[in-house]
Structure 1
Amino acid sequence: MSDCGCEKARRDLEEYLRNEVCNTEHTEIREHLENCVSCTDEALVAKTLTEVVARACRETAPEELRDQVFARLRALQSAAH
């Protein structure tokens, strides 16, 4: 086992969580996370935050709110011309 260390694990954490590191680096970071509570906690926070942001991006505004926003934008555009 080759421990990549906290500095590398934290530096490459986002890429690791998105599976954007090579297989060797993925294995090294995974092994480090299995043995380092501090980095594991940081990975959990990063993963949770990423999931919450992704979920929020999929949500849509209620139809009534969207209608109000578009009506206000149209009113502002009309006033500007």
Structure 2
Amino acid sequence: MGDCGCDKAKAELEEYLHQELCSEDAADIRAHLDGCTDCAEEHTVGVQLTMALKQACAETAPEQLKDQVLARLRAVQATHS
């Protein structure tokens, strides 16, 4: 295990963020991030983006908005049938 270099770290960053790497590869990426400011900053952006997406996907639309969208879809479907 050791520093894997920027190319590998950046290529595998998405998998690292989602904990999809084997433990050895994850340890290599972590070691690299600990010593590389550029890759560590890219990792931080990835973490923040992932968290924002998870939060956005957890939110639900208000019932009134859902009703309006469904009514509009039905109206469009009725004119195109």
Q: TM-score, normalised by structure 2?
A: 0.92
Q: CA deviation at 1:75?
A: 1.2
Matches within 5 A, 1:1-81: 2-81=2-81
- Partners in 2 of 1:60 and 1:3 — Cα distance? 42
Q: CA deviation at 1:11?
A: 0.5
Q: CA deviation at 1:62?
A: 1.1
- Partners in 2 of 1:76 and 1:26 — Cα distance? 50
Q: CA deviation at 1:2?
A: 1.9
The letter of the residue matching 2:6 is C
Structure 1 residue runs without a partner (length 5+): none
Aligned length: 81
Taking only aligned residues, the RMSD between alpha carbons, in angstroms, comes to 1.1
Any idea what the Cα deviations from partners look like across 1:7-65, whole Å, max 9, x if unmatched? 10010001011111111111110011011111100000011001101111111111111
- Partners in 2 of 1:73 and 1:63 — Cα distance? 15
- Partners in 1 of 2:2 and 2:60 — Cα distance? 45
Q: TM-score, normalised by structure 1?
A: 0.92
Identity of aligned residues (%): 51
